[in-house]
Amino acid sequence: MNSALQDIQFIRLAPQHISEVTAIAQVSYPDPWSAALFRAELDNPVSHFYVMLLAAMIAGFGGFWLAADEAEIMNITVKPECRRRGLGKKLLQYLLEQATYLGAKHAFLEVRESNIPARHLYLTAGFQETGRRKGYYSLGNEDAIIMRRQLPVSSPEQ
Ligand X SMILES: CC(C)(COP(=O)(O)OP(=O)(O)OC[C@H]1O[C@@H](n2cnc3c(N)ncnc32)[C@H](O)[C@@H]1OP(=O)(O)O)[C@@H](O)C(=O)NCCC(=O)NCCS
SS3 string, 40-86, reads: HHHCCCCEEEEEEEECCEEEEEEEEEEECCEEEEEEEEECHHHCCCC
User: Which of 34-42, 49-57, 99-107, 118-126 is the region at the interface with ligand X (rule: CB under 6 A)?
Assistant: 118-126
Interior/surface letters 73-109, b for 16+ CB within 10 angstroms, e for the rest = bbbbbbbeebeebebbebbbeebbebbbeeebeebbb
Among 4, 45, 81, 84, binds ligand X (CB under 6 A): 84
If one asks whether residue 22 binds ligand X (CB under 6 A), the answer comes out as no
Q: Which is nearer to ligand X, 145 or 151 (CB)?
A: 145
Among 30, 117, 131, 140, binds ligand X (CB under 6 A): 117
Q: How many residues bind ligand X (CB under 6 A)?
A: 20
User: Which of 4-12, 120-128, 129-137, 140-148 is the region at the interface with ligand X (rule: CB under 6 A)?
Assistant: 120-128
> Which three-class secondary structure state does DSSP give residue 91?
helix
Among 22, 28, 98, 154, binds ligand X (CB under 6 A): 28
- Dihedral in degrees, nearest 10, Cα atoms 98, 150, 31, 143: 180
User: Which of 4-12, 46-54, 79-87, 143-151 is the region at the interface with ligand X (rule: CB under 6 A)?
Assistant: 79-87
User: Which residues bind to ligand X, rule: CB under 6 A?
Assistant: 28-29, 76-78, 83-89, 111, 115-118, 120-121, 124
